[in-house]
Amino acid sequence: MYKLVASDMDETFLDGHHRIPAANLNALRRMRELGVLFVPSSGRPYQSIMANFVDIDQELLQDSYVISYNGGFINRYGDPTPILSTTINREAIEFLYRYGVEHHLAMHIYTPSGKIFTQFLPPEEVAYVKTITGVIPLSDDCTSLDFVGDEDLVKILYMNSDFDAVKRLGAEMRSLLDPSLVDITYSSKRYAEFVPAGVNKGTGLAHLAELLGISIAETIGVGDSANDLAMIEAAGLGVGVANVTDDTRPYCDLVLDTPAHDGAFAELLERVIEPEHQ
């Protein structure tokens, strides 16, 4: 019997405006009644994830957890102090930032405190990040990481609306980076994400399952993109929403018929969770 559902947020649990569809909110209520723990799992910071739930009944996520920064951080829901945290090698991220500046690449740079610095964003991405908490735009003439001071960094991503170009860039960067320090993954059909080596949503889910004393076979992982793949593969049941990307779809045990913007968790509840409690 499944005891925990870990879900990606953007393009999986949320609609295109970073809101929770009504169908998903109803599914959360029912999962709570059945004793199934819902755990948000995102590449975004904890603080940004929490902003998505500010208007809901907080009882629905009481005693739950949040997996953030692609599995690098785990928090108890409602507690901003992480119980697990991983940051990226400073020299590696300084190289990635300089490379982004030199090639004028659209970038997001993430800190443990929840700040998301952005630079060189095209208009459509500027409009998109306005719906995300913690975003701080940088001027185009910023050329070093002095703006973060001594604070560690968690990850950096490059953005391009041409996803094929993003993947080509990621492939080119692999030969320039030490694989013992940095891993590369992809998300939202426009991002190449550079994260600490060995960090992914699958390891985050495994750490949380161990903390809770449950088998990872008793978990469900739900996502839509390559940065969800490790979680989808690690979970007892790996689920893709209908809009799951082509590179992730083959690894899903189940692909739902409902896309994220329509609230796919009602279908997950009906097809998988409810039958186990009859």
Read out DSSP for 73-117? EEEETT--S-SB-----HHHHHHHHHHHHHTT-EEEEE-TTS-EE
Q: What is the DSSP letter of 204?
A: H
Residue 90 near residue 23 (C-beta atoms within 8 A): no
pLDDT digits (tens, 9 = 90+) for 25-55: 999 999 999 999 999 999 999 999 999 999 9
Closest CA to 207 of 9, 39, 1: 39
Cα 240 from Cα 221, distance rounded (Å): 8
**pLDDT(17) > 90:** no
Q: For residue 200, what are its two tokens?
A: 């992914």
pLDDT digits (tens, 9 = 90+) for 237-278: 999 999 999 999 999 999 999 999 999 999 999 999 999 988
Q: What is the mean pLDDT of residues 216-223?
A: 98
**pLDDT(16) > 90:** no
Under the phi-then-psi rule, with left for phi > 0, alpha for psi from -120 to 50, and beta for the rest, what region is 78? Answer: left
Residue 211 near residue 79 (C-beta atoms within 8 A): no
50 by DSSP, 3-state: which?
helix
Residue 106 near residue 119 (C-beta atoms within 8 A): yes
157 by DSSP, 3-state: which?
strand
Q: What are phi and psi of 237, to 5 degrees?
A: -135, 120
**H/E segment holding residue 127:** helix 123-129
Q: What pLDDT is attached to residue 150?
A: 87
Q: What is the residue-averaged pLDDT of the chain?
A: 96
Q: Is 3 exposed, middle or buried (0-12, 13-18, 19+ CB in 10 A)?
A: middle
Closest CA to 166 of 124, 110, 226, 222: 226
Cα 268 from Cα 247, distance rounded (Å): 21
Q: What pLDDT is attached to residue 55?
A: 92
pLDDT digits (tens, 9 = 90+) for 99-113: 999 999 999 999 999
Q: What percent of the chain has pLDDT over 70?
A: 100
CA angle 103, 109, 113 (to 5 degrees): 165
pLDDT digits (tens, 9 = 90+) for 56-100: 999 999 999 999 999 999 999 999 999 999 999 999 999 999 999
Q: What percent of the chain has pLDDT over 90?
A: 96
Q: What pLDDT is attached to residue 131?
A: 85
Q: What is the mean pLDDT of residues 169-178?
A: 96
pLDDT band of residue 206 (cuts 50, 70, 90) is very high
CA dihedral 197, 229, 23, 272 (to 10 degrees): -130
**pLDDT(142) > 90:** yes
